[in-house]
């Protein structure tokens, strides 16, 4: 069974992950969901991803185009804009810094009992 | 594994899309249509991939999805409801007009009840502050009436109530926000 993740934590980094995935490969909504699941984020649902893509589009971080599909109606493919790529670079640096700091704190050995305040 | 999609599956998907669409009336028309198409297309693709039940389960309730889409469009700030405002504008007009009309008719009926063969001119000053004077002219029990229009106060109350019910004052911060962020 895949591990579950804190939804609030996921929501905070979802934008970053979406920009990264779309920078790797232009994708439509359901394909993005499949790629998230393939990356191990199996608890991210479609109902969260589709509006997040809309938000990114409204913010000008991704652009969308319709591509006709053999399987049915045209699909809306997303790719990052230059502003989206810049946001991805900044977000990635911030995330790496946060992981380093939080990781260092969480790696500290714990005392057998919490030290009492003086 | 690919799942085939029958007409029942199509109906189930259309039901969710329709239900979502009904909750997105505050979106600009183009955006609402685009959202509807995209959700339908993604649901169909997911249904072919994992089955209709799983696809619908994964996308969640239409209420939650609509809330997320509205937040995606307008941000998390409080927003006005144009749909509710428009509904109130229409229903308020109908109800208020019916109320004032009935009040004026009651006055005319009262005169006729007192004297079925009445002749003459009668004035009723209307519901105080909300309605202009109504003048009834009777000839042998048959009457016509003029007047009874809404006063400026009635119009102001109607407009004011529409603003309150639709929370239209929230347009101002939204408009400012939009003009402060030209990229959006």
Query: Does any domain span residue A2?
Result: no
Per-residue confidence (pLDDT) for residue B77, from 0 to 100: 67
Residue B181 has pLDDT above 70, yes or no: no
Query: Does any domain span residue A113?
Result: no
How would you label A87-114 residue by residue, b for 16+ Cβ within 10 Å and e otherwise?
bbeebeeeeeeeeeeeeeeeeeeeeeee
Per-residue confidence (pLDDT) for residue B149, from 0 to 100: 85
Residue A21 has pLDDT above 80, yes or no: yes
Which range is most confident: B31-45, B62-76, B123-137? B31-45
Please give the average per-residue pLDDT across B80-102, as a whole number.
87
Nearest CA to A77 out of A69, A86, A65, A68 is that of A65
Query: Does any domain span residue A35?
Result: yes
**Residues of chain A contacting B49 with CB distance shorter than 8 Å:** 30, 34
CA of B62 to nearest chain A CA: how many angstroms apart? 9
Query: Does any domain span residue A41?
Result: yes
**Residues of chain A contacting B46 with CB distance shorter than 8 Å:** 30, 33, 46
Q: What is the pTM of this model?
A: 0.67
Please give the average per-residue pLDDT across B6-16, as a whole number.
93
Please give the average per-residue pLDDT across B73-89, as a whole number.
80
Q: Which of B72, B73, B177, B182 to mutate to test the interface with A (most CBs of A within 10 A)?
A: B72
* Average model confidence (pLDDT) across chain B: 86
* Average model confidence (pLDDT) across chain A: 90
* Interchain contact B60–A (C-beta under 8 A): yes
Stretch among A23-32, A76-85, B72-81, B127-136 having the lowest mean pLDDT = B72-81
Query: Does any domain span residue A54?
Result: yes
Query: Does any domain span residue A92?
Result: yes
| B38/A74 CB distance under 8 A | no
Compute the CA torsion angle B171, B174, B176, B180 (nearest 10 deg). -160
**Residues of chain B contacting A28 with CB distance shorter than 8 Å:** 41-42, 45
Range of the domain at A23: 7-103
Spell out the alpha helix ranges (H) of chain A: 7-24, 29-38, 46-58, 82-106
First to last CA, chain A: 45
Per-residue confidence (pLDDT) for residue B184, from 0 to 100: 44
* Contact residues for A86 (Cβ-Cβ < 8 A; gap 6+): none
Confidence bin at B83 (pLDDT 50/70/90): confident
Query: Does any domain span residue A118?
Result: no
pLDDT in tens, B34-53: 999 999 999 999 999 999 99
ipTM: 0.79
How would you label B32-43 residue by residue, b for 16+ Cβ within 10 Å and e otherwise?
bebbbbbbbbbb
Number of domains in chain A: 1
Query: Does any domain span residue A86?
Result: yes
Domain CATH for A59: 1.10.10.10
């Amino acid at each position: 069974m895949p591990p579950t993740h804190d939804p609030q934590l996921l929501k905070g980094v979802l934008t970053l992950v979406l920009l990264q995935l779309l920078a790797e490969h232009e994708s439509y909504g359901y394909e993005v969901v499949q790629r998230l699941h393939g990356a191990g984020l199996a608890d991210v649902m479609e109902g969260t991803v589709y509006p997040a893509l809309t938000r990114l589009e409204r913010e000008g971080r991704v652009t969308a185009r319709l591509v006709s599909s053999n399987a049915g109606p045209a699909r809306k493919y997303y790719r990052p804009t230059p502003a989206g790529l810049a946001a991805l670079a900044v977000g990635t640096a911030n995330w790496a810094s946060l992981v380093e700091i939080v990781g260092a704190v969480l790696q500290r050995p714990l005392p057998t009992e919490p030290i009492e305040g003086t | 594994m690919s799942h085939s999609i029958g007409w029942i599956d199509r109906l189930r998907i259309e039901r969710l899309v329709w239900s979502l669409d009904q909750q997105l009336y505050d979106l600009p028309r183009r955006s609402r249509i685009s959202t509807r198409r995209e959700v339908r297309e993604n649901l169909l693709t997911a249904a072919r991939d994992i089955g209709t039940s799983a696809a619908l389960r994964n996308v969640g309730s239409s209420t939650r999805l609509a809330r997320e889409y509205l937040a995606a469009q307008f941000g998390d700030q409080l927003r006005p409801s144009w749909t509710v405002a428009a509904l109130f504008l229409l229903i308020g007009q109908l109800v208020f007009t019916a109320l004032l009309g009935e009040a004026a008719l009651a006055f005319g009926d009262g005169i006729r009840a007192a004297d079925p063969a009445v002749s003459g001119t009668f004035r009723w000053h209307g519901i105080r502050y909300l309605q202009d004077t109504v003048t009834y002219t009777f000839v042998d029990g048959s009457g016509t009436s003029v007047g009874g229009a809404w006063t400026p106060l009635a119009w102001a109350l109607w407009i004011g109530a529409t603003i309150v019910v639709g929370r239209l004052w929230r347009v101002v911060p939204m408009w400012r926000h939009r003009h402060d962020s030209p990229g959006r």
